[in-house]
A = this chain, B = another copy of it.
Amino acid sequence: MLCLRTRRERWNEMTSSGGTVDRTHQLSETVALLARTPAVLDALLRGLPEIWTLRNEGGLTWSPLHVVAHLIHAERTNVMPRVRVLLEFGETQSFAPFEREPAQEHRPLAQLLDEFAQLRRENLAALEALHLTEEDLDRRGEHPAFGSVTLAQLLATWAAHDLTHLHQLSRVMAYQYREAVGPWSAYLGVLRCNGHSS
């Protein structure tokens, strides 16, 4: 335990708000996470019974299939286009607003998982080809809703966006068993998650 605490303390020192954050190091951590998400979704969803993949939380909420469709949409239209606008125009041109609702989705889940994996590979290759420096990561762009943001923040959000949808997927899947678990629902935090924004 001592060993783990010491390692945690080291990380806390490295990244505490009082210290300086090494943005290129953070970028490598971001990319490490982004590169895994397709395999995570594959392991979690491909070939699973439809109760886990096609059902939602009622009404117009999203099923896991719709979450994957949304991630594809984000991969196509959101992060890398914004990276390019930021690097080319800085704060003089706002990012295009991101349409968060996915289009109606008729494709099977297996096809969506393949497409997401392909797009993510292409986007990470495009990101790597930019050879971003510490100075690049501090450059600023203009978000249409909340104004000035840095490239480092945009790229960190790409990773956190994957995690927010993994959080959503686990919640949507658990929801299907909300009655099946009987009295254990009291012990399962995921069944009391109010959904937040997604």
Point out residues on A near B: beta carbons under 8 Å.
1, 3-4, 7-8, 11-12, 15, 17, 21, 26, 28-29, 32-33, 36, 39-40, 42-44, 48-52, 54-56, 63, 65, 104-106, 143, 146-147, 149-150, 152-154, 156-157, 159-161, 163-164, 166-171, 173-174, 176-177, 179-184, 186-193, 195-198
In the complex, what distance in Å separates the CA atom of A36 from the CA atom of B137? 37
List residues of chain B with CB within 8 A of the CB of A42.
43
Q: A52-B33, A182-B150 are in contact. Are A174 and B192 (CB under 8 A)?
A: no
* B174 in contact with A188 (CB, 8 Å): no
16 contacts between A and B (CB under 8 A): A1-B105, A7-B54, A8-B55, A26-B180, A32-B49, A36-B43, A40-B43, A143-B183, A149-B183, A153-B184, A154-B184, A156-B182, A157-B188, A163-B170, A164-B190, A187-B197
Q: A8-B63, A193-B196 are in contact. Are A188 and B170 (CB under 8 A)?
A: no
